[in-house]
Amino acid sequence: MVITELLERNARLYGDETALVELSPTEERDRVVTWREASLIESAQPHSPYRRSLSWRDFDRRANRIANLLLSRNLSRGAKVGILMMNCLEWLPVYFGVLKAGCIAVPLNFRYSSDEIKYCLELADVEVLVFGPEFITRMDAIAGDIPNVKMMFFVGREKPVYAEDCIKLMSFCSSSAPPVALSEDDYAAIYFSSGTTGFPKAILHNHRALFASCETEQAHHGQTRDDVLLCIPPLYHTGAKMHWFGSLISGSKAVLLRGVKPEWILRAITEEKCTIVWLLVPWAQDLLDAIDSGKVKLENYLLDQWRLMHIGAQPVPPSLIRRWLQVFPHHKYDTNYGLSESLGPGCVHLGVENTAKVGAIGKAGYHWEAKVINEKGDEVSGDEVGELAVKGPGVMLCYYKNKEATDEILKDGWLLTGDMAKVDADGFIYLVDRKKDVVISGGENIYPVQIEDFLRQYDKIKDVAVIGMPDQRLGEITAAIIEIKEGMTCTEEEINEFCKALPRYKRPRKIIFADVPRNPTGKIEKPALREKYCGGRLVEEQILS
């Protein structure tokens, strides 16, 4: 089965039921909504700009119109179609319309600069670009300099002169399914590696991988038609979309929240009766901090139906999860590990039944294999650290137009993740650090994630990143960039005193009080920190983890 058949099935079986909801909080509406009010909101404001919704039938029809629009322009099978939009109600219908036309969807990071957009459009041989109003200024700068892009469709009001009105053109296209037969082996999507500096690589996947990710997500989190997913991360990213695939395969509602304030998250859960929420580490931290400070009061929200909170896209501090489960003891919890090269989360996962193993990323996921290997490719034993390798239905076909880079990380069907890990006696995998982030100081391997996890236990620290800095004597020393919680003060002496509980060689040699930058998927932008504090030492692209 190909993934577009799931959408068609849902439209046929659950046509009038809600598939997607978009919530767009604004400062004017930023108020506490109690559970007593929540039941009135949908009926009182069905057409409010704050809330828009789409049924499964209309979702499928819009996807068909997009597909028929593309086909009317004589696009060949396998043509690449870029998608550059913020999360919105139109995003997924456009994505599925591209697939239904037999084309290849190419989602683009909303943080890309004009030069990065141009680079990715050229690298992926994109012929058509669908973009939203937030990107007009960036597109203005390159619109006349992307000759491979033959057409640009604009989703929004007041379109630029170089683009066509996508919504208007769709209205003239048939809402019936296009006559395009798809197979599991057809190319489906190109995603980009999450390099935080430099330019990313293009990752090619087929339809088989997309459908397999639906099965993996449902196997891990048990989505039923009664579940409601709150989706906050960007849809261009494999993590957000592949978690939503659990809603697709189960025919259940999903809510797209455009905003990450703790009160917005809790209000959305209350209003839409969300049962599953996927958070990034910073958002979970902010939510707990807001509860601790009294800025939000849980008694104002209806949260009893919320059954699962899961986190992925980066190493998760065990202290954060222990803190979370103290505040929300009834929640099931899961950690999901993945890469864009493995089509997002699920190749390794903790499992909701394994909270006693908080700190581990878990074991191989549904239909996946995982092992930790040394530089010779042999599995490590005991507590030895090696590189995590995974094998399964979501492994990429290749880096598009980059055989050399493909051959570096694909070995006999195994994907080398670039993450250093170890396995405990029960077979649970623990991330140690990124291979490129390991600090070698005086001949000792130091894993920054271990130091970061330790420092986050200090009650004044909101976030922390540890990097290696050049040192003439030791080669490298560790530096901790520390972000302090709002309203608190902290000194270097306090941090050094706290770190006395660490082995001497692991103690940070330099303390820097500053904000910790993170990308849209929540990962710390360590290449940017090295660029800022080390003059560019090891500024390299990072593979999504």
Residue 477 confidence (pLDDT): 87
More confident residue, 528 or 134: 134
Enumerate domains of the chain plus CATH numbers.
438-534 (3.30.300.30)
* pLDDT surpasses 60 at 30: no
Share of the chain above pLDDT 90, in %: 61
At residue 214 the predicted structure's pLDDT band, cuts being 50, 70 and 90, is very high
DSSP per-residue string spanning 257-308? ES---HHHHHHHHHHHT--EEEE-HHHHHHHHHHHHHTSS-GGGS--TT--E
Q: Could you give the CA distance from residue 455 to residue 465 in angstroms, rounded to a whole number? A: 9
Per the listing, tokens 């002169």 go with: 161
Give me 8's structure tokens: 């068609």
Per the listing, tokens 């001949």 go with: 443
User: What confidence tens digit (pLDDT) does each residue in 478-490 have?
Assistant: 899 999 988 889 9
Q: Which residues of 489-523 are buried (b: 16+ CB within 10 A; e: fewer)?
A: ebeeeebeebbeeeeeebbbeebbeeebbbbbbbb
What predicted TM-score, i.e. pTM, was given to this entire model?
0.81
Residue 521 confidence (pLDDT): 60
* pLDDT surpasses 50 at 41: no
Q: Could you give the CA distance from residue 479 to residue 501 in angstroms, rounded to a whole number? A: 17
Q: Give Cα separations from 395 to 180, 362, 415 (angstroms).
A: 26, 18, 7
Residue 315 confidence (pLDDT): 64
Question: Rounded mean pLDDT of 242-255?
Answer: 96
Share of the chain above pLDDT 70, in %: 89
* pLDDT surpasses 80 at 335: yes
End-to-end CA distance of the chain: 28
Question: Rounded mean pLDDT of 506-525?
Answer: 82
Please list, in sequence order, all residues whose beta carbon lies within 8 angstroms of the beta carbon of residue 207, skipping any fewer than 6 positions away: 2, 3, 99, 182, 183, 184, 185, 186, 187, 188
Question: Rounded mean pLDDT of 277-302?
Answer: 90
Question: Within a 10 A sphere around the Cβ of 125, how many other Cβ atoms?
Answer: 17
Find residue 23's DSSP bridge partners.
51, 257
Residue 443 confidence (pLDDT): 56
* pLDDT surpasses 50 at 543: no
Q: Give Cα separations from 218 to 118, 225, 263, 337 (angstroms).
A: 36, 11, 28, 15
- Three-state secondary structure call for residue 177: coil
Q: Could you give the CA distance from residue 234 to residue 239 in angstroms, rounded to a whole number? A: 9
* pLDDT surpasses 60 at 288: yes
* Contact (CB, 8 A) for 45 and 82: no
At residue 444 the predicted structure's pLDDT band, cuts being 50, 70 and 90, is low
The phi, psi pair for 345, rounded to 5°, reads -70, 155
- Three-state secondary structure call for residue 523: coil
Give the CA count within 13 Å in the CB-facing half-sphere of 434: 22
Find residue 230's DSSP bridge partners.
255, 277
Q: Which of 191-205, 318-332, 341-355, 389-403 has the highest mean pLDDT?
A: 389-403
Per the listing, tokens 């980009």 go with: 192
Question: Within a 10 A sphere around the Cβ of 309, how many other Cβ atoms?
Answer: 20
Please list, in sequence order, all residues whose beta carbon lies within 8 angstroms of the beta carbon of residue 35, skipping any fewer than 6 positions away: 270, 300, 301, 302
Q: Could you give the CA distance from residue 75 to residue 83 in angstroms, rounded to a whole number? A: 16
Please list, in sequence order, all residues whose beta carbon lies within 8 angstroms of the beta carbon of residue 251, skipping any fewer than 6 positions away: 9, 10, 13, 14, 17, 56, 225
* pLDDT surpasses 80 at 407: yes
User: What confidence tens digit (pLDDT) does each residue in 424-437 have?
Assistant: 999 999 887 666 77
Tell me the pLDDT of the chain averaged across its residues. 87
* pLDDT surpasses 60 at 31: no
User: What confidence tens digit (pLDDT) does each residue in 348-377 have?
Assistant: 999 989 888 888 899 999 999 999 999 888
Question: Rounded mean pLDDT of 192-212?
Answer: 82
* pLDDT surpasses 90 at 5: yes
- Max CA-CA distance within the chain? 70
* pLDDT surpasses 80 at 68: yes
Q: Which of 128-132, 477-481, 504-508, 523-527 has the lowest mean pLDDT?
A: 523-527
Q: Which of 96, 83, 86 is nearest to 56 (CA)?
A: 96
Q: Could you give the CA distance from residue 159 to residue 161 in angstroms, rounded to a whole number? A: 6
At residue 473 the predicted structure's pLDDT band, cuts being 50, 70 and 90, is low
Query: Torsion angle of alpha carbons 481, 523, 106, 136, nearest 10°?
Result: -50
Residue 419 confidence (pLDDT): 85
* pLDDT surpasses 70 at 45: no
* pLDDT surpasses 90 at 179: yes
Q: Could you give the CA distance from residue 372 to residue 386 in angstroms, rounded to a whole number? A: 5
